[in-house]
Amino acid sequence: MVIRLTETKAWKDLESHANQMKSASIRELFANEGRAKALSVEAEGVFADFSKQRLNEETIGLLVTLAREMSVPAKIEAMFSGAELNPTEGRAVLHVALRAPSDAVIEVDGENVIPGVHAVLARMRDFSRRIRSGAWKGHTGKPIRNVVNIGIGGSDLGPVMAYEALKHFSDRELTFRFVSNVDATDFYEATYDLDPAETLFIVASKTFTTQETMTNAQSARRWLVQTLGESAVDKHFVALSTNRVGVEAFGIDPENMFEFWDWVGGRYSMTSAIGLSTMIAIGPENFDEMLGGFHAMDTHFRRTPLEENLPVLMALVGIWNTNFLDAKAQAILPYEQYLKRFPAYLQQLVMESNGKRVTLDGEAVDYRTCPVFFGEPGTNGQHSFYQLIHQGTEFIPCDFIGFLKPTHDFSNHHPQLLANMLAQAEALAFGKTEDEVREEGVRQWVAHRVFEGNRGSTTILLDELTPAALGKLVSLYEHMVFVQGVIWNIGSFDQWGVQLGKVLASKILPELEGAPLGPHDASTRALIERFRG
């Protein structure tokens, strides 16, 4: 039986509750001193304080009931059991299997996938060690010094985010570059100063058909071959893919292919073979620690009651802000420079997953789904868009992410960084009233100096940015996305919304190169003609 979200009892209860809470103020809610403790949860070393959100314990109770009514516990179990949770593509959703221990058993169509996962990991470890030690020689006998990952979407954003996040753990003797855009500038800038004889290209593509990646990979091949000759390809190209036939057709030796499977979604693939560049950068031991972090949060998610389940609570607070307090966007604000690509990574993870307007049954939803995710590392964001977050007309819930220990401990930088983070969350929640402005002696432009406050945020604190911590953080958001998709009853694991543009681009491409124009609207036709000159 199809459960309609807006017809559940919990949804209706939340609507009435929201009517009261819309007029509640976070200042008043804090009259309850126990609130900070009661609305904070710690799991696997990740501490999350939800007390600065505009909600109370009753809100959480109602949201948890909603999660139960929408069968979240059963869906969690279904995911870990290899059920077909991606029905529009006929696939299981098993990124959790990529970081499960070797003695785990997770079956897809009656076959345990874990031995295959660990066999690929073993090959990745061996290959990474050979690159890092210099044992793997390029075509001319020189060791590899440069690694260029070619991929886009999930085949780029996870690797580049993880490389930047864990740079402190990476082999600084090696240079890492990431090419994604079909704009030739991306390829040029990544390669113009590299020696082909010392360069390894990793072609990362689940399908091995993505236009941008194939174009960049062909350019990389020409770049290499024009200096070293055709026979150099074997020593300078490896592929990460599910498509063996496509890899062979490109001319990459299947021996140099690291496999993954169709039950790994592109945006959930950074712990699959797609993580090869990460493993080469930080070494197999650190990569294993990262997998351990993922697995710890996966296990917490699977085993913990909803009330204390961190990914579930993150998801529910997001639902509360989006569906009951009308938030249309959410800011991701890491106070950690190494997480500078984390907002970009989350943009794909969250919006490609839950940016959907029909339910799994194909009916238009009658509620809001995924908000716009965006962000910048602190404190840069403060000097950019925080003005709108504090005083604009939109309510933008924020996730502040900080680490207690700095990676680099120079003078008083870290206390300054964290002071800024805590201050922003405090200012958003409590604001500054007109009276408070006047008490400071201000007589002019008073209204401009007022902060209405009551703008909710979550503060997430971890001890230190280690590979394990990164794994926990990413897993936390992956499962948050999953729970929200279950509650909204949408297909979080397909991405039909990217298809139409791809198809139209393939029709326009020959037209830009001179083929007769097909049927287009007057605007597109005129723009094509302008390009053709």
Ligand X SMILES: O=P(O)(O)OC[C@H]1O[C@](O)(CO)[C@@H](O)[C@@H]1O
- What residues line the site for ligand X (CB under 6 A)? 152-155, 205-207, 210, 213, 266-267, 352, 495, 498
Q: Say whether 502 is catalytic.
A: yes
Contact 240, 155 (CB under 8 A): yes
Q: Which of the following is catalytic: 12, 328, 502, 507?
A: 502
Closer Cβ to ligand X, 132 or 267, answer by number: 267
Q: Which residue, 164 or 352, has its beta carbon nearer to ligand X?
A: 352
DSSP 96: G
In the complex with ligand X, which residue's Cβ is closer, 197 or 490? Answer: 490
Q: How far is the CB of 243 from ligand X (least distance, A)?
A: 8
Compute the least distance from the CB of residue 160 to ligand X, in Å. Answer: 13
Going 361 to 365 to 368 to 374, the CA torsion angle's sign is positive
Closer to ligand X by CB, 154 or 311: give it: 154
CB 259 within 8 A of CB 244: yes
- DSSP letters for 210-230: -HHHHHHHHHHHHHHHHHH-G
DSSP state of 350: I
The total of other beta-carbon atoms located within 10 Å of residue 23's CB is: 8
Nearer to ligand X, 178 or 403 (CB): 178
> CA Rg, the chain, in Å?
25
Residue nearer to ligand X on the CB measure, 240 or 483? 240
Phi, psi (degrees; rounded to nearest 5) at 152: -145, 160
**265 vs 456 by CB, closer to ligand X:** 265
Distance CA 229, CA 269 (A): 33
> How far is Cα 187 from Cα 197, in angstroms, rounded to an integer?
17
Based on the residue annotation, tell me whether 22 is a catalytic residue of this protein: no
Residue 371 has which token pair?
């908000």
Q: Which stretches does DSSP call E strand in 119-158?
A: 146-150
The one catalytic residue in 44, 259, 352, 511 is 352
Cα 193 to Cα 288: distance, rounded to the nearest angstrom: 32
HEC profile of 225-241: HHHHCHHHHHHHEEEEE
**Nearest Cα residue to 449 out of 391, 490, 526, 408:** 391
Cβ-contact 112, 106 below 8 angstroms: yes
Q: At 63, is the secondary structure helix, strand, or coil?
A: helix
Nearest distance in Å: CB 157, ligand X: 8
Q: Which is nearer to ligand X, 446 or 498 (CB)?
A: 498
Backbone angles phi, psi at 285, to 5 degrees: -65, -45
293 vs 391: CA distance, rounded Å:
38
Please check whether residue 487 is in contact with residue 5, taking contact to mean a CB–CB distance below 8 angstroms: yes
Q: CB of 442: closest distance to ligand X in angstroms? A: 50
Q: Active site includes 352? A: yes
CA distance 466 to 336: 12
Size (the chain), residues: 533
**Residue 90 zone, left/alpha/beta (φ > 0; ψ -120 to 50; rest):** left
Q: Provide the minimum distance between the beta carbon of 266 and ligand X in the complex, in angstroms, as a whole number.
A: 3
Nearer to ligand X, 240 or 468 (CB): 240
CB of 178 to ligand X, least distance (A): 13
What is the separation, in whole angstroms, between the first and last Cα of the chain?
A: 58
Identified catalytic residue from 22, 383, 413, 507: 383
**Residues in Cβ contact with 276 at an 8 Å cutoff, skipping those fewer than 6 apart:** 124, 127, 128, 202, 204, 238, 240, 258
Catalytic site positions: 352, 383, 502
